[in-house]
Amino acid sequence: MRVVTQAMPGARSASVAIFVPVGSRHEDDAHAGLSHFLEHLVFKGTREHPEAGALSQVVESVGGSVNASTDRELTVFSSKVPAERTDVALHAVSELALHPLLRHADLTSEKPVIADEIRMYVDSPSDHVFTLFDELLYGRHPLGREIAGTIGSVRRATHAGVVGHWRAAYRPSGMVLAVAGAIDHDEVVRSASDWHAAGPPEEGPARRPPVAAPAPQAAPRGALR
């Protein structure tokens, strides 16, 4: 795991983030939206905090926050806490990225939640216009899809597919840990080293579906809906 820190001795807080190098552009049509699905599922329970919401409560109990986001290139797990509780933020992001439970029942219950999220984007002109722009720009390439996939791809998602996606992409050796605030670089490095030693085994190189480059645009494109 690569570690990047910025010590800010005068700060009263610390911000921690783990960047996982996987997003919607790394998904083929059959697995559209799995990266975003994973972002949802990890909050349903982790190794040390198996109940949904329990990990967030731990962070909030020290005056902090924890969040996550999925983009086309990356998935990010982040936490901000008072500087003296940096250990809590480090623990939180490591649990989410490295030790999610990914239970079958949670996948089933989360499908309608994500489907509603997709509908919300479609119903919002200010959000949907960007999806339309990407479709016109990239065509059928994964970059032209909504990051969350489609309602159909979410419904078709399987437990084996989600777990396989996590095992293939969520490898400590490919992640970046970034920490800024009133922190100690050596302590952060020690934490990352411990995670790597205790994390899930890495089975060969990271696997990603082959994705061709977007086709060159030969003529103007337009959409009317």
Catalytically active residues, by annotation: 39
Q: Is 23 exposed, middle or buried (0-12, 13-18, 19+ CB in 10 A)?
A: buried
For 3, 72, 167, the CA distances from 199, given in Å and listed in that order, are: 16, 25, 11
Give phi and psi for 90, each to the nearest 5.
-60, -45
Which residues contact residue 99 at a Cβ distance below 8 angstroms, ignoring those fewer than 6 apart?
46, 47, 48, 199, 200
Q: What SS3 state is found at 69? A: strand
Regarding beta strands 13-20 and 176-181, do their DSSP bridges make them parallel or antiparallel, or are they unpaired?
A: antiparallel
CA 178, CA 19: separation in Å to the nearest integer?
A: 8
Regarding beta strands 2-7 and 13-20, do their DSSP bridges make them parallel or antiparallel, or are they unpaired?
A: unpaired
Q: Is 186 exposed, middle or buried (0-12, 13-18, 19+ CB in 10 A)?
A: exposed
Specify whether the CB–CB gap between 18 and 68 falls below 8 A. no
